[in-house]
């Protein structure tokens, strides 16, 4: 007679209103699958420091699709502006909000506080006290919960220590002495912005002996006609690896050890040339790591591995993010218990579906299973289509089954 399903309020609930959430919703709807997005549009990006610019090239800055009605080119044509690289953060946020208005105009800005199993599939509790049910969930909640700060500094006053992602306006450090720990884009660009905003002195401490400085021009441009052949428009990974990581269905078939080495090479810490040329007033110390921090009156004394110390008014970590889906506070115990994980990542199969049926993950949590491209905006092109294809295929297989008296169509 076939399988029987309980009625649910929603066919698909997408948790997260950023690039990956928008992409999943748009592609699901294009495939004829009803989807509802929850979350505050572009909230993570809107909290990033003012004045920042995107490291990605123009093609990789597209949301939803590299070419089409929701592409960056279509947005610029509508607002009547020229392409500008590097893309300023404010411009990308405006583009994201334009995509939301045109592609996902009915975003429900309530925050999902809990997702747990339900007879209809899943139950979602919202921050206003209401609950809804959904047959399928797409988690597109981003990386905000995954900020990484080395352990051992929890006892220090929060006003004296922070992560680069904690600040939307770095001008608050005017006239202060700041030590930044890290060797990637966020560490160096935060340092440059603080100096430009009037900080008294800024030191960046880099553990490695070298910094990977990206070229002032994209390798794709430098190589002329061969550039678009060797480098994928997704703009992730060096020569030749670029095409491989842009094809997650192929990448995930490689031996795990090979995947890890390619992923490391593709996402290692690096910094853009447009930031490098703004670091004249920043003191960069190479080959040193943080050994200890202690209160020194109203300031901090920072001890480094080379035996030197620095007194500062603030210690900032530009140490990136480490995925651990248990830190998504909205995932209920029943869901987490049944989720197969590897190093904090969900183990995903075709359609970016987890071991919990009809629960999908897109964005950085999907990168362990589908490669480094999923960590970036341009990875939303693949993720959105894949989730939509899997969901539409499953939906078609349900045609004719009874939803407690409601005929599926």
Sign of CA dihedral 396, 402, 404, 409: positive
65 three-state secondary structure: coil
Question: Which pLDDT value is given to residue 240?
Answer: 78
Number of helices and strands in the chain (H, E): 14, 18
Backbone angles phi, psi at 162, to 5 degrees: -160, 175
pLDDT-derived band at 217, boundaries 50, 70, 90? low
pLDDT-derived band at 7, boundaries 50, 70, 90? low
In the predicted model, what is the mean pLDDT of the chain? 91
pLDDT-derived band at 215, boundaries 50, 70, 90? confident
| CA pair distance 296, 218, nearest whole angstrom | 45
pLDDT of residue 78 exceeding 80, the answer is: yes
Neighbours of 140 (CB within 10 A): 30
CB 188 within 8 A of CB 204: yes
pLDDT-derived band at 261, boundaries 50, 70, 90? very high
Stretch among 18-27, 262-271, 342-351, 396-405 having the lowest mean pLDDT: 396-405
Residue tagged 């912005």 (tokens):
193
DSSP assignment letter at 326: G
pLDDT in tens, 308-353: 999 999 999 999 999 999 999 999 999 999 999 999 999 999 999 9
Same CATH topology for 10-146+322-407 and 161-212+270-317: the answer is yes
CB 21 within 8 A of CB 41: no
pLDDT in tens, 24-64: 999 999 999 999 999 999 999 999 999 999 999 889 999 99
% of the chain beyond a pLDDT of 90: 82
CATH number of the 10-146+322-407 domain: 3.50.50.60
Question: Which pLDDT value is given to residue 6?
Answer: 55
CATH class for the domain made up of 161-212+270-317: alpha beta
| CA pair distance 181, 201, nearest whole angstrom | 14
| CA pair distance 124, 108, nearest whole angstrom | 13
| CA pair distance 28, 391, nearest whole angstrom | 8
pLDDT-derived band at 401, boundaries 50, 70, 90? very low
Average pLDDT over residues 164-186: 95
Question: Which pLDDT value is given to residue 400?
Answer: 33
- Give buried/exposed letters for 212-251 (b at 16+ CB in 10 A, else e): eebeeebbbeeeeeeeeeebbbbbbbeeebbebbbbbeeb
Q: Side-chain half-sphere of 350: how many Cα atoms within 13 Å?
A: 5
Average pLDDT over residues 237-261: 92
pLDDT-derived band at 119, boundaries 50, 70, 90? confident
Name the pairing type of β-strands 290-296 and 299-304: antiparallel
Question: Which pLDDT value is given to residue 103?
Answer: 97
Question: Which pLDDT value is given to residue 218?
Answer: 67
Domain boundary assignment for the chain = 10-146+322-407, 161-212+270-317
226 three-state secondary structure: helix
Q: pTM of the entire structure?
A: 0.91
Average pLDDT over residues 168-188: 96
Of 108, 141, 147, the C-alpha closest to 20 is 141
């Amino acid at each position: 007679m076939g399988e029987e399903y309980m009625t649910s309020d929603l066919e698909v609930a997408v948790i997260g209103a950023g690039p990956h959430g928008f992409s999943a919703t748009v592609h699901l709807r294009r495939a004829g699958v009803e989807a509802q997005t929850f979350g505050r549009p572009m909230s993570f990006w809107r909290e990033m420091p003012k004045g920042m610019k995107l490291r990605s090239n123009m093609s990789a800055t597209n949301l939803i699709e590299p070419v089409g009605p929701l592409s960056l080119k279509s947005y610029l044509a509508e607002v009547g502006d020229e392409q500008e690289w590097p893309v300023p953060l404010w411009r990308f946020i405006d583009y994201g909000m334009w995509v939301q208005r045109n592609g996902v105009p009915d975003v429900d800005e309530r925050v999902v506080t809990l997702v747990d199993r339900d007879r209809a599939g899943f139950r979602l509790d919202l921050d206003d006290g209401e609950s809804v049910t959904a047959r399928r969930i797409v988690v597109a909640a981003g990386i905000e919960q995954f900020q990484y700060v080395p352990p051992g500094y929890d006892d220090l006053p929060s006003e004296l220590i922070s992560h680069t992602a904690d600040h939307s306006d770095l001008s608050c450090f005017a006239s202060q002495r700041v030590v930044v720990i890290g060797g990637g884009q966020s560490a160096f660009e935060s340092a440059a912005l603080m100096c430009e905003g009037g900080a008294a002195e800024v030191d960046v401490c880099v553990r490695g002996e070298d910094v990977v400085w990206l070229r002032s021009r994209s390798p794709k441009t430098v190589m002329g006609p061969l550039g678009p052949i060797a480098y994928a428009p997704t703009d992730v990974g060096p020569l030749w690896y670029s095409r491989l990581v842009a094809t997650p269905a192929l990448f995930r078939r490689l031996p795990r050890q090979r995947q890890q080495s390619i992923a490391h090479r593709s996402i290692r810490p690096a910094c853009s040339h447009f930031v490098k040329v703004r670091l004249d007033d920043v003191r960069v110390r190479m080959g040193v790591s943080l050994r200890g921090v202690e209160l020194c009156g109203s300031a901090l004394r920072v001890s480094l591995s080379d035996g030197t110390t620095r007194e500062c008014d603030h210690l900032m970590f530009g140490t990136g993010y480490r995925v651990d889906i248990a830190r998504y506070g909205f995932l209920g115990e029943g869901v987490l218990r049944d989720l197969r994980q590897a190093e904090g990542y969900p183990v995903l199969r075709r359609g970016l579906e987890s071991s919990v049926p009809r629960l999908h993950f897109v964005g950085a949590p999907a990168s362990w299973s589908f490669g480094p491209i999923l960590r970036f905006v341009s990875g939303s092109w693949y993720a959105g289509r894949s989730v939509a294809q899997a969901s539409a295929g499953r939906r078609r297989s349900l045609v004719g089954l009874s939803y407690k008296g409601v005929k599926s169509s």
